[in-house]
Structure 1
Amino acid sequence: MTYGSRSIICDAGSGLVALGQRLLQDETTEIDIALTHFHIDHVMGLPFFAPLFETGVRVRLLANEAVLSCSVEEMMRRLFAQPFIPMGIDAIRADLSFQDLSDVAMHSVGDATIECLELCHPGGNTAFRIRHRDKSVVYTGDFSHFEADQMSTLTAWMDNADLGILETTFTPQNYDPHKSFGHTHWRAAGQIAAQAKKWLGVHHHHLADDHTLDLVDQELRAAFPNGRLGKDGQTIWL
């Protein structure tokens, strides 16, 4: 989410690499990265995020440390080290800082705000509701949809949200053998996001090819006219 010279990024998977190049081209100098959790598919782009190695850029990593296994800084020091990466965190040239989101209910990020909601996932996960002026975006990260209280709050967050971004790793047909994985499927996500103005299903299963995803997208759109699967490089103006 970019506004003015500032960007808020949710999670830091492989897509962060190309995004980093784009942010440098756009001369974005204030970057906040909100991490739902620290599983490798959500942080693997950080060592290859070009703005981290540019002077004059401010990068802040945010996470709700109360629901995760370690602090943001500790995670970065583990990631930027052998045997994973042949450089230490001292290689970073940007003005890097860390913020724990667990101390207050709502945080300011420039003139936007961010709220957290703990969701069920092995090792913890935090959904985010980000508001800027009269616009709101809800981003779930990874979650299982069986916790009734959590789903009640998440559904309320989606009510009239300008955009919901929900993980839809599985389909209703292949979900049952994977219930313990801490993910959901597109039909459950669509029911949660039914009152959002629009929503995207993301975090596609790594074995799903484009043809399979096209079929899922058609079925999803038929069931939920306000939803669709997200695509790499997609831009949405709010």
Structure 2
Amino acid sequence: MSSSQNQQFTIHFWGVRGSIACPGAETVRYGGNTSCIEMRVGTERLIFDGGTGLRVLGQSLMSQLPVTAHLFFTHAHWDHIQGFPFFTPAFVPKNTFYIYGAVAPNGSTVQQRLNDQMLHPNFPVPLQTMGAVMKFFDINIGQTLEIGDGVKVETALLNHPGEAVGYRINWNGYAAAYVSDTEHFPDGLDDNVLFLARNADVLIYDATYTDEEYYSEKTSKVGWGHSTWQEAVKVAKAANVKRLVIFHHDPLHNDDFLDQVGEQVAQRFPNSLMAREGLSIQLISPEETTKPQLM
């Protein structure tokens, strides 16, 4: 592997929707696949969540065999695991996947939850048919994981029904926070979210709703486990985030609606992006190899 590849920290978005996949004419520009993000950090490949975007990532990886990757799940709601049975590289021998997730409040492990969704009558092919080497790890929320050559993954509990894990990836003085799915608190910012987002180069935040939708008298979303773009801006400012990415788009929000949200976010936080399928963010420029450590 070349020196430039050893120094990479890139983020690629394969699925950016929440709740359910929503392909169609009105979601072409932002995409309709559910949550899946790939990070290339130094020599390591990290994948966050296995929504339907994981299937698309898998097709891309078939030209790069053999594959070794670390796959982190925030939780096991359908929109975050439904792509796993269709992840073609997992059926290929000599590929290796290290799979991480927290034990659910009911005691089930990430391995049990992925296994259960592939049992009859839900799916025709069991997890045991997958030919790749798969090693499962149960996360204690709040612990820090060390991966490969200096990659540090911090974890924190998010405010979501059934619990979810937020992740912060640190390497070579850079940091990216992945905060999905979480609901903000009415009486102040979430300390766990601020911890993950502190001084981050990139914050990827669950902004499923607008404030108007969230607080609607007729169709309130309070208690549904998701946040708003207005709260995302508050977090980004309070945590001194360099770049904010609005993520986990509601399936009812079409391309034109998301364009409008992006304009409103940019007015309040200029260095912001709307997550869309195919978006890549490069934290390290080709000529840059080192950077002072974040505090």
Q: TM-score, normalised by structure 1?
A: 0.93
Task: Kindly indicate whether the alpha-carbon contact (under 8 Å) linking 1:66 and 1:102 is maintained by their aligned counterparts in 2.
Answer: no
Which of 221, 226, 233 pairs up with 1:178? 221
Which of 266, 270, 286 pairs up with 1:225? 270
Q: Which residue of 2 aligns with 1:33?
A: 71
Query: Identity of aligned pairs, percent?
Result: 29
Count of residues in Structure 1 that have an aligned counterpart in Structure 2: 238
- Cα displacement (A) at 1:126: 0.8
Which of 40, 48, 59 pairs up with 1:21? 59
- Cα displacement (A) at 1:6: 2.8
Which amino acid in structure 2 is aligned with residue 11 of structure 1? Answer: D
Alpha-carbon distance change, 126 to 32 in structure 1, aligned in 2, over 3 angstroms = same
C-alpha separation in 2, matches of 1:109 and 1:150:
30
- Cα displacement (A) at 1:193: 1.5
Q: Which residue of 1 aligns with 2:253?
A: 208
Q: Which residue of 1 aligns with 2:200?
A: 161
Q: Which SS does the other structure have where 1:80 is aligned? A: coil
Which amino acid in structure 1 is aligned with residue 194 of structure 2? Answer: T
Alpha-carbon distance change, 103 to 208 in structure 1, aligned in 2, over 3 angstroms = closer
Task: Kindly indicate whether the alpha-carbon contact (under 8 Å) linking 1:107 and 1:114 is maintained by their aligned counterparts in 2.
Answer: yes
Task: Kindly indicate whether the alpha-carbon contact (under 8 Å) linking 2:68 and 2:97 is maintained by their aligned counterparts in 1.
Answer: yes
Q: Which SS does the other structure have where 2:211 is aligned? A: coil
| Residue 171 of structure 2 corresponds to residue 132 of structure 1 | yes
C-alpha separation in 1, matches of 2:244 and 2:142:
27
| Greater shift in the superposed pair: 215-224 or 18-27 | 18-27
Q: Which residue of 1 aligns with 2:20?
A: none
- Cα displacement (A) at 1:32: 0.9
| Residue 114 of structure 2 corresponds to residue 114 of structure 1 | no
- Cα displacement (A) at 1:97: 1.1
- Cα displacement (A) at 1:36: 0.6
Q: TM-score, normalised by structure 2?
A: 0.76
C-alpha separation in 2, matches of 1:228 and 1:103:
28
Which amino acid in structure 2 is aligned with residue 227 of structure 1? Answer: S
For residues 55-204 of structure 1, the aligned pairs below 5 Å read: 55-65=93-103, 69-102=107-140, 105-111=143-149, 112-146=151-185, 151-176=190-215, 177-194=220-237, 195-204=240-249
Bigger-Rg structure (1/2): 2
| Partner deviation per Cα, 1:147-196 (whole Å, 9 max, x = no partner) | 76871232243232111110110011111100110110001011112211
Task: Kindly indicate whether the alpha-carbon contact (under 8 Å) linking 1:166 and 1:200 is maintained by their aligned counterparts in 2.
Answer: yes
Task: Kindly indicate whether the alpha-carbon contact (under 8 Å) linking 2:166 and 2:196 is maintained by their aligned counterparts in 1.
Answer: no
Alpha-carbon distance change, 175 to 104 in structure 1, aligned in 2, over 3 angstroms = closer
Gaps of 5+ in 1: none
Q: Which SS does the other structure have where 2:223 is aligned? A: helix
- Cα displacement (A) at 1:234: 0.5
Q: Which has the higher contact order (CA 8 A, sep 6+)?
A: 2
- Cα displacement (A) at 1:65: 1.7
- Cα displacement (A) at 1:228: 2.1
Higher helix share: 1
- Cα displacement (A) at 1:140: 0.9
| Greater shift in the superposed pair: 38-47 or 64-73 | 64-73
- Cα displacement (A) at 1:227: 1.8
- Cα displacement (A) at 1:38: 0.4
Task: Kindly indicate whether the alpha-carbon contact (under 8 Å) linking 2:74 and 2:166 is maintained by their aligned counterparts in 1.
Answer: yes
Q: Which SS does the other structure have where 1:9 is aligned? A: strand
Task: Kindly indicate whether the alpha-carbon contact (under 8 Å) linking 2:103 and 2:109 is maintained by their aligned counterparts in 1.
Answer: yes
